[in-house]
Amino acid sequence: MDILDLNIKDLSFKSIKEEVDKIDIKDSLYKVDLIRIIDILILDKRKNVQSLGNRIQREKDKIIAEINRVKAMYNFDKSFGEYEYVAGVDEVGRGPLAGPIVACAVILDLNCLEDNLILEINDSKKLSAKKREELAIIIKEKAVNYYISASSNTEIDEKGIAYSNNKIFLEACTRLDLTPDLVLSDGYLVKNLNIQNKAVIKGDTKSASIAAASIVAKVYRDKIMKEYSKKYPHYAFEENSGYGTVKHIAGLKEVGACEIHRLSFLRNIL
């Protein structure tokens, strides 16, 4: 690292900071040079230079903590036994008043090296829209396989949300290009699934595969609802994804339901 070739005692804080800002902490995480740089900065007599060393240490600790958190999620998926392919499946859109319910099944490489862990995966609701979109791209690139399934508002009205929920879980798991040896499903077991299946309560915070599925499904559905918002601008779908927010309810009372509303969900509203 260039900063080690410099005598920082002879450098201004600005010059030192410029060199510190060039450091890729994640790439240098376990290198001895990074430890030496932190020590040099913290031992400097200037408090602002010391603060740079402390900043690097905090960022390093944060990255290590995140790696350990995600490792635990990968290890959770491996804890059920020796399986070649483990799929995680989750849904989004069970509760909205409009639009489809969407499920995704994802198979990850659970034995990947640390550098290939998908950091920051979590329950999609705990992530910003921007972060979900970034992660969805990475998940699709790194996943061994994934499949997205959806059930329309019409089917939800005709057959019920429970039926539609299970249907898309089943489709997402059985239409993967690779047949999983184990399916981890968020919340409850998938009915009529002829694959070994374990239900995981709050699985999107425990299982790497379920969390990945949650993110991909959420991004996919949100994109659909943003497109619908252009056709049906009265309900603020671009903001609420079909959930019953104040703007959405106001739109319903003003202009009534549109063709993507779940009429069976509106009986106590209209």
Q: Tens place of pLDDT for every residue, the chain, 270 residues?
A: 566 766 778 888 998 888 888 888 888 888 888 989 899 999 999 999 999 999 999 999 999 999 999 999 999 999 999 999 999 999 999 999 999 999 999 999 999 988 899 999 999 989 999 999 999 999 999 999 999 999 999 999 999 999 999 999 999 999 999 999 999 999 999 999 999 999 999 999 999 999 999 999 999 999 999 999 999 999 999 999 999 999 999 999 999 999 999 999 999 887
Q: Is 181 annotated as a binding residue?
A: no
pLDDT at 5: 61
Tell whether 268 is covered by a domain: no
Tell whether 230 is covered by a domain: no
∠ CA(242), CA(184), CA(107), 5° rounding? 85
Tell whether 70 is covered by a domain: yes
Q: What are 147's two structure tokens?
A: 């499949």
Domain carrying residue 46: 2-78
Do 55 and 128 reside in the same domain of the chain?
Answer: no
pLDDT at 6: 63
pLDDT at 28: 81
d(CA 238, CA 82): 43
pLDDT at 30: 80
Q: Is 114 annotated as a binding residue?
A: no
Q: What are 87's two structure tokens?
A: 């799929």
Tell whether 54 is covered by a domain: yes
Tell whether 260 is covered by a domain: no
Do 46 and 165 reside in the same domain of the chain?
Answer: no
Q: Is 2 annotated as a binding residue?
A: no
Tell me which DSSP letter residue 187 carries: S
Do 47 and 105 reside in the same domain of the chain?
Answer: no
Count of domains forming the chain:
2
User: What backbone phi and psi angles, to 5 degrees, belong to 132?
Assistant: -60, -45
Do 14 and 123 reside in the same domain of the chain?
Answer: no
**Which of 118, 108, 109, 88 lies closest to 217, judged by CA?**
88
